[in-house]
Amino acid sequence: MTDIKSMDLAEMTVFFQQLGEPAFRAKQVFQWLHRGARSFGEMTNLSKALREKLTQTCSLCPPQVERKQVSTLDGTIKYLWRLGDGNCIETVLMRYHHGNTVCISSQVGCRMGCAFCASTLGGKVRDLTPAEMMDQVLFSQLDSSLPISNIVLMGIGEPLDNFDTVLRFLRLVNSPDGLNIGMRHISLSTCGLTEKIDKLAEYQLQLTLSVSLHAPDDETRSRIMPVNRSVGVENLFACCRRYFEKTGRRISYEYAMIDGVNDTDWQADLLASHLKGTPGHVNLIPLNDVAESPLKPSRRVAAFQKRLEQQGITATVRRKLGGDIDASCGQLRRKRMREEQANM
Ligand code: SAH
């Protein structure tokens, strides 16, 4: 079966030409798909014969809502989707003043092994397709009736470990005939795959790159983020500087504050010294408790922030949304996996 929804408009145009159809069919179908059509049967401006032909040759597989949780605190919505092959992924819809934002997944599971992250327990099952990434935006918007204006690639998975798919996804949601979400409204978060960051820089996209730093020294970072063992903090910052020079875009550094691990004054000072001379912004995240992990939230978030600011580094503390609905990375998928195991 052809994955027609992962095609961009130019590819779809070629596809329809090969079927002996006029070029404008591609635009019609593209628009239907990017408005969240669930079947070709709905596409009433196509002939019945063409609709049937497409049904027989192309797969759409819209995701099913396996579970939906709405926060009573702030209206954050968490979707657990069941994909065509039975795997589950998560999407979180957050309601900010600057617009509704979806946090989407890029893989089923993750192979990066970060010690504090629920998504990596159980490893990576597979990459998502461009269509499966886009469906998370389309169907959260349709289900919630909330127009989505911003996308963050911060859900389950490492986006730069699924590089080609992510680039195609960006092209799709950026399309004027589709969701038309501008690059400046998109953030991509990575654990710091330097070769891929260099590759991304070549495209000079206007998106915001977030680097999950979480520790300024190799000993700590390698302990909590295995990816650091081959890269190292110095190389990572050198890569971030190259990225800034090439794209002109400031990087945002994610720093989840973990009790007694990365929250000391000397680590704040080391972080500040790495950032001197490189425009960047630090986002301090109160650690979300993961049931399977012994790591606990830090009690020094405010002190750490102050110490960075005293050294001229801008640091904000991320507001916690959806605290009552397992809204952080991979938690709901883990819960569902535990329940499924218990029922076996
Ligand atoms: N793989 C990418 C994107 C997914 S994780 C990355 O590493 O950036 C999105 C963000 O949530 C990352 O900054 C990640 O380190 C952070 N995160 C994961 N588990 C967390 C937890 N328990 N508490 C706080 N932040 C967490």
Asked if 329 is an active-site residue, the reply is yes
Q: Which two tokens stand for residue 269?
A: 């000072």
Distance CA(344)–CA(341), nearest Å, equals 5
- Ligand 1 centre to CA of 271 (Å) is 18
CB of 254 closer than 6 A to ligand 1?
yes
Atom of ligand 1 nearest to the CA of 211: 8
**Catalytic residue of the set 88, 117, 240, 329:** 329
CB of 165 closer than 6 A to ligand 1?
no
- Cβ(173)–Cβ(151) under 8 Å? yes
Q: What amino acid is encoded at 36 in this protein? A: G
Q: Whose CA is nearest to atom 24 of ligand 1?
A: 287
- Ligand 1 centre to CA of 328 (Å) is 8
Same fold? 4-57, 64-342:
no
Phi-psi region of 109 (alpha: psi -120 to 50; beta: other; left: phi over 0): left
Q: Which two tokens stand for residue 136?
A: 């998370």
Distance CA(260)–CA(304), nearest Å, equals 12
Q: What amino acid is encoded at 96 in this protein? A: Y
Distance CA(105)–CA(87), nearest Å, equals 12
β-bridge mates for residue 58, sequence order: 2
Pocket perturbation via mutation, ligand 1, pick of 107, 212, 319 by most ligand atoms within 8 A of CB: 212
Asked if 88 is an active-site residue, the reply is no
Architecture of domain 64-342: Alpha-Beta Barrel (3.20)
Predicted structure pTM score:
0.95
Q: Whose CA is nearest to atom 21 of ligand 1?
A: 288
**Catalytic residue of the set 21, 88, 90, 239:** 90
- Structural domain boundaries in the chain: 4-57, 64-342
Q: What is the pLDDT along the chain (344 residues), one digit of tens a residue?
A: 999 999 999 999 999 999 999 999 999 999 999 999 999 999 999 999 999 999 999 999 999 999 999 999 999 999 999 999 999 999 999 999 999 999 999 999 999 999 999 999 889 999 999 999 999 999 999 999 999 999 999 999 999 999 999 999 999 999 999 999 999 999 999 999 999 999 999 999 999 999 999 999 999 999 999 999 999 999 999 999 999 999 999 999 999 999 999 999 999 999 999 999 788 999 999 998 887 889 999 999 999 999 999 999 999 998 777 777 776 656 777 777 777 767 65
Instruction: State phi, psi for 84 to the nearest 5 degrees.
Output: -55, -35
**CATH no. of 4-57:** 1.10.150.530
Q: Which two tokens stand for residue 53?
A: 């032909």
CB of 90 closer than 6 A to ligand 1?
no
CB of 239 closer than 6 A to ligand 1?
no
The DSSP-derived string for 56-99 is HHB---PPEEEEEEE-TTT--EEEEEEPTTS-EEEEEEEEETTE
